[in-house]
Structures are given as structure tokens and as C-alpha cells.
Amino acid sequence: MNKLELVEVGHTKKPKGIDGALKIHIEEQYIDDVSNARAIFIDLDGSRVPFLIKKFVVDSQLLIKLDEVDSPQEAEACTAKTVFLDAREVTASLDVEQAHPLVGYAVLDQDEKAYGHITSIEEYPNQLMSFITKGEATIMLPIHEDNIIDLNEIDRIMQLDIPEGMDEL
């Protein structure tokens, strides 16, 4: 028999109401998966216990009603616990944050000298900011169409017009 593979998707919060419902936090990328799931698994004292889902409400707050949890006292035993889904029911990519297409590109300056490699890209208001590893240092450089001299997608090389002294910041 295959061992069941579980994916951590969130955690339980406080009981809500008199029927044993629980407030629950589910990571955004897993909300649809939990909505479509038959059961969740809750970590109770080191054991991942399955609970059939009677009702899952997505509103201003997430609420879940579990089968055989019918009072606030029973729900209290499931409070502040890690929640898992069967990995076969997870459609969200486990690598939630997809890397920007420019990550990994080698960066050359305007004189075609190697500058480093882009390790990540972050979006700031009105511009992209690249984080470039140069030796043991990480340097932030803005990426804007005005400072891109050349973009070689085949060799994954980007040539940028880098202002003098930018690597000293």
C-alpha cells in the first residue's frame, strides 16, 4: 500500500458558532483545492487525522464545518492545528512563486564586462528591480526598457547601461 502524501495548506483558528464550525486560514493558492476536497487532515498530537468536510465557506473569513465535530468544545480540540490535504487533491504548484523569466540571466555592463547573474526580480511601483549576484555581494539594479542595451534570450544574457558607481551602493 502506498504511503499517503500530504501537503500543508494552512491552519485552524478559533471555533465559530454553536455547531462546531472552525475559522480556518488556508494559503491562497490552496483555497480552491480545499473547496473541492472531500476531507482535510489535521495534525492532532503528531498524528494527521482525516476529517470529512461537511461545509467550507469562503467569505470575508474562511469557515469549515467538519463531520463529527458538532460542538464548540469538540471544535476547540482542533484549534490552532496544522491543516493538510492529500497531495493528489492539490492542483496548485508546490513552487508557488514562479521565477521571473529573467532570473538566471548573465548581466553585462555597457562595456560588455560581466557584471553577475540575476538571482531574483521584484516588482516595485513603476519599475522592476533585479537582484544581481556579483562575487559575494548582491546588488540591486533597476530594469527599465531605457537601460537595456541588448537582450539575448538564446544565451540568456542581458546587457544593461549601468550608471557609474551603482555597484558601490
64-119 residue pLDDT tens: 999 999 999 999 999 999 999 998 888 865 444 456 788 888 889 899 888 888 88
Which pLDDT belongs to residue 58? 85
Domain ranges of the chain: 6-89, 106-168
Side-chain-side CA neighbours of 8 within 13 Å: the count stands at 6
Overall average pLDDT of the 56-61 stretch: 84
User: For the domain bounded by 6-89, which CATH number is listed?
Assistant: 2.40.30.60
Q: Give the pTM.
A: 0.54
Which pLDDT belongs to residue 99? 65
Which pLDDT belongs to residue 167? 61
